[in-house]
Amino acid sequence: MNRQPPVAISGLGCICAAGGNLPGCTEALFTRPPAPAPPRALLGAQHPVFEVPDRFLPTIGSQHPPMVRAVRLALTAANEALADAGLTAAALRQKRVGVVIGTNVASGVSNRALQRELGGIDCSGMSPAERFLTVNPAQWLARHFGLSGPHVTIVNACSAGGDAIGLAGTWIRSGRCDVVIAGGTDAFYEVTYYGFIALLNSDTEACKPFDARRNGLNLGEGAAMLVLESEAVRASRGVKPRAFLSGYGTAADAYHLTAPHPEGGGLRVALRDALAAAGASRADIAFINAHGTGTRENDRVESLFFHDLFPGVPFGSTKGFTGHTLGAAGAIEAAFTIAALELRKIPATAGFEVPDPELPAHPSRMPTAISGTMALSQTLAFGGNNSILIFSAEPSA
Amino acid sequence: MKACILGAGVVGGFGCGRAALEAAIRNRSAPEAPAVPALTAQTDLLDRFVPPRTLRRVDHYARMALLASRLALEDAGMDDGLPENTGLIVATGMGPTANTLDLQPADVAAADLALSPILFSNSVQNAAAAYISMLLKIRGPCLSINQYEMSVPLAFQTAIDWLEEGRTSTVLVGGVDCFSKALHDASLSRRETKNGSGGRTPAPVGEGSAFFILTRSDAAGAQYPFVHDVHMGAAMRPDAPPVPNTLMLHNSRKTDLLDHASAHVDLTHLYGTFPTSMGMDVAAALALLRTEQLLSMCLPRSDGGSAIPENPRIGCLKQGETGDWGMIVIGRDGR
């Protein structure tokens, strides 16, 4: 992997159970986590989830095609990120602007509303294009903002949001785009909910990442968007970046459909490539936002990875504040990582109380001050995908 | 940077492998249209490469992608495996649609929805990439993208990006889509009814997979065909695709972009239409560039017969329902 120039991040937006915008989420991270609850739409369901309260979502008028919830979440986060970057829709239309969105639920036709239409009688109002626009978040955002640049939806399961940000960096560096709106989005989806229960990966209580009593994840929903800019555009606008995307590495385990490689095989390759891209070493990393789902295997593999490669470096999981937001997780946690770099402290790992004696490294139990200007956020996905993003407060390590 | 194509694997309604596709082009032989109509693919050949026991949980969608990937390895003479850091990009328009729809019957009450963990796993959009990665031991970067008809050009663009930035030296890139009668009934047939076929005989719906092994042109010999360029255009931008010097393979119901092409041909009667069928066009372009007789058959006849330029380039053009378009330009070799 060649060293890559850092890419400026000029705007951030986030919506999840912890808050309706990034400042709200950040405040929650350092105060108290929201409590997960059984899904509102499923009577009798037991396993708790982190749903976004309706009051966090701005009111929208009627839309055609109808805006699915995952797109609504994505649009809310994108509006916040663009405002944060000081970019208006009119300004965007003067530039080559790309959109890269990671998702799991809002991909293709994995859509229960569509299924209901197919199972019923009347599909007359649904052309393929309309269906596509209904469920494809990258297409939706590009059309909404009137953007003519490239747009793509990444469907890498739980690492999709992180991979979207990594690909956005490539689009900026290659000169293909002046600006890229990149992130992830996912909404609560009953098939996924019951799917994780079927896989025995869902906790019946609030999730407990890295805790001895951990027994699975809680699903969540949300979206986060980052605005990445070329140096030329950023300099011409005279804006100060909030952070830089310095490195991105991704690698497959080639091991198992639903379980991570026991020694973190792909994760180690992803780290090697991310550090090489950033021109950094492990010693440069001030803290790590772990994937930390609360499942037995994920947390065991990550703990081993931190113990072997980052001894003494503080790490934590924010899943106890958001639940596992699947395709949005990599993006939401990227936003949290940048916010922590700015605040120079990381939150406690909500749900972590009892250290697991079988794990060699343990997350922060209290908010922890950090020193250094570079941080790492990692995601591990279904199918054995591992992705790592490195963010820095300064353009170089 | 040009990316060399070391090998190609295809699975479709015409059969499996390069020879089957070339034979279909040569004989102009469209497979018999079944009742739906849909040109569906058979994947029995996969048993030649992977023990059936290993495949028992792999669904048809992933089997097609896996077989096309394995055939690409064979075509490239890489039966012993791919290089250490090979990357993988899987493009799909529909994902494992049929599987997903099977998973969520309309009359199921949410509270007692009991899912099979295997069916659920196979419904995840990157399931095909996961199976390919596991069974072909691909441990480099791995990406699944879903942008309907634009998925294949975006996948090729990303593969070239990866090669250029040194993320990997080799990429297995391709597309896969699975026929779904429910979706066909709901939308595709209605599209023809509503909008007509643009004066063309509508091609049958198809399914299949096409995969390619790409490497940096400076790392391979000059004898390989190569991806000369990938062009993308947006509906709201008035630019048109460039005209290739030899032929345009056209794979869309819309025809307005064809005004700019001096010669074009539609081969979708051989493999049907589906969101990622552009991958089939890329494989067909390779076949045409490999065999002048096939290329001549597809060129318009003039008084002096078909003229093939010294450095022939074939553009594979896909225009989406939204008006976005993508074109992959394939050249014969790097000499």
**Global ipTM:** 0.93
Mind listing the domains of chain A with CATH numbers?
7-391 (3.40.47.10)
What type of residue sits at position B259? D
- B190–A127 C-beta distance less than 8 A: yes
Q: Read off the pLDDT of residues A312-340 as tens digits, 9 standing for 90 and up.
A: 999 999 999 999 999 999 999 999 999 99
Locate the DSSP E strands across chain B. 3-12, 15-16, 38-39, 87-92, 142-146, 170-177, 205-206, 208-216, 226-233, 247-250, 264-265, 313-319, 325-331
Question: Who has greater pLDDT, A353 or A193?
Answer: A353
Q: How confident is the model at residue A119 (pLDDT cuts 50, 70, 90)?
A: very low
Looking at the domain that runs over B3-331, which CATH code has it been given? 3.40.47.10
Residue A366, Cβ density class (10 Å: 0-12 exposed, 13-18 middle, ≥19 buried): exposed
Length of chain A: 397
Candidates A112, A190, A382; nearest CB to B126? A382
**For A11-20, A61-70, A177-186, B66-75, which range has the lowest pLDDT when averaged over its residues?**
A61-70
* pLDDT tens, residue order, chain B (335 aa): 679 999 999 999 999 999 999 999 998 766 665 555 567 888 989 998 888 888 888 999 999 999 999 999 999 999 988 998 999 999 998 888 666 655 554 444 444 456 788 888 888 889 999 999 999 999 999 999 999 899 999 999 999 999 999 999 999 999 999 887 666 665 554 454 444 444 455 667 889 999 999 998 776 666 789 999 999 988 777 788 888 888 889 887 777 777 655 788 899 889 988 889 999 999 999 999 999 889 988 887 655 555 788 889 999 999 887 788 999 999 987 55
Length of chain B: 335
A307 catalytic? Reply is no
Distance between CA atoms of residues A331 and A337, nearest Å: 10
What is the pLDDT at residue A258? 87
DSSP at A49: B
Q: Determine the residue of chain B that is closest to A192 in CA distance.
A: B120
What's the number of CA atoms in the CB half-sphere (13 Å) around residue B171?
28
Distance between CA atoms of residues B62 and B65, nearest Å: 5
Does B109 contact A at CB distance below 8 Å?
Answer: no
What is the pLDDT at residue B104? 52
Tokens representing B263 are: 């010669």
Q: Looking at CA atoms only, how far is residue B54 from chain A in angstroms? A: 12
Q: Which residues of B touch A266 (CB under 8 A)?
A: 139
Instruction: Evaluate if residue A281 carries a pLDDT over 80.
Output: yes
Q: Read off the pLDDT of residues A25-44 as tens digits, 9 standing for 90 and up.
A: 999 999 988 999 999 888 78
Does A150 contact B at CB distance below 8 Å?
Answer: yes
What is the pLDDT at residue A56? 92
With H, G, I as helix, E, B as strand and everything else as coil, classify residue A381. strand
Tokens representing B89 are: 């990009």
Q: Find tokens 């159970």 and name the residue.
A: A17
The interface residues of chain B toward chain A in range 57-86, judged by CB-CB distance below 8 A, are: 85
DSSP at A354: S
Contacts of A257 (CB under 8 A, 6+ apart): A382, A383, A384, B121, B127, B130, B131, B134
- Mean pLDDT, residues A7-27 taken together: 97
With H, G, I as helix, E, B as strand and everything else as coil, classify residue B176. strand
A16 catalytic? Reply is no
**For A90-99, A355-364, B95-104, B287-296, which range has the lowest pLDDT when averaged over its residues?**
B95-104
Q: Find tokens 């890139």 and name the residue.
A: B173
Distance between CA atoms of residues B75 and B19, nearest Å: 10
Contact indicator for A387, A379 with CB cutoff of 8 Å: yes
The interface residues of chain B toward chain A in range 185-214, judged by CB-CB distance below 8 A, are: 185-188, 190-191, 194
A294: left (phi over 0), alpha (psi -120 to 50) or beta: left
Mean per-residue pLDDT over chain A, rounded? 90
Q: Looking at CA atoms only, how far is residue B177 from chain A in angstroms? A: 11
Q: Which candidate, A240, A1, A77, A146, places its Cα nearest to that of B167?
A: A1
A:B CB pairs within 8 Å: 218
Question: Using CA atoms in the order B94, B98, B99, B102, what is the torsion angle rounded to 10 degrees?
Answer: 140
Contact indicator for A351, A206 with CB cutoff of 8 Å: yes
Distance between CA atoms of residues B9 and B271, nearest Å: 14
The interface residues of chain B toward chain A in range 221-240, judged by CB-CB distance below 8 A, are: 232, 234, 236-237
Distance between CA atoms of residues B121 and B124, nearest Å: 6
Contacts of A242 (CB under 8 A, 6+ apart): A9, A10, A11, A12, A84, A338, A342
Catalytic residue among A16, A25, A158, A177: A158
Q: At what angle do helices B18-27 and B278-290 cross, to 10 degrees?
A: 80
Cα dihedral sign, A139-B205-B254-A120 = negative
Q: Which candidate, A299, A273, A307, places its Cα nearest to that of A390?
A: A273
Q: Which candidate, A173, A151, A166, A130, places its Cα nearest to that of A270?
A: A166
What type of residue sits at position B266? D
Distance between CA atoms of residues A14 and A331, nearest Å: 9
Does A40 contact B at CB distance below 8 Å?
Answer: no
What is the pLDDT at residue A219? 96
Q: Read off the pLDDT of residues A286-309 as tens digits, 9 standing for 90 and up.
A: 999 999 999 999 999 999 999 999
Could you give the C-alpha distances from A245 to A74, A349, A390, B5, in angstroms and in order?
20, 24, 6, 32
Q: Read off the pLDDT of residues A247-256 as tens digits, 9 standing for 90 and up.
A: 999 999 999 9
Instruction: Evaluate if residue A120 carries a pLDDT over 80.
Output: no
Contact indicator for B269, B28 with CB cutoff of 8 Å: no
- Mean pLDDT, residues A381-389 taken together: 95
Q: Which candidate, B129, B127, B107, places its Cα nearest to that of B117?
A: B127
High-pLDDT (> 90) share of chain A, %: 77
Contact indicator for B157, B283 with CB cutoff of 8 Å: no
Instruction: Evaluate if residue A49 carries a pLDDT over 60.
Output: yes
Candidates B114, B146, B158; nearest CB to A155? B146
Task: Report pTM.
Answer: 0.93
Contacts of B289 (CB under 8 A, 6+ apart): B225, B295, B312, B314, B330, B331, B332
The interface residues of chain A toward chain B in range 307-336, judged by CB-CB distance below 8 A, are: none
Paired with B39 in beta bridges are B206
- A170–B142 C-beta distance less than 8 A: no
Helices (H), B228-335: 268-271, 278-290, 292-298
- A151–B95 C-beta distance less than 8 A: no
Q: How confident is the model at residue A122 (pLDDT cuts 50, 70, 90)?
A: very low
What's the number of CA atoms in the CB half-sphere (13 Å) around residue A211?
24
Question: Who has greater pLDDT, A195 or A318?
Answer: A318
Instruction: Evaluate if residue A174 carries a pLDDT over 70.
Output: yes
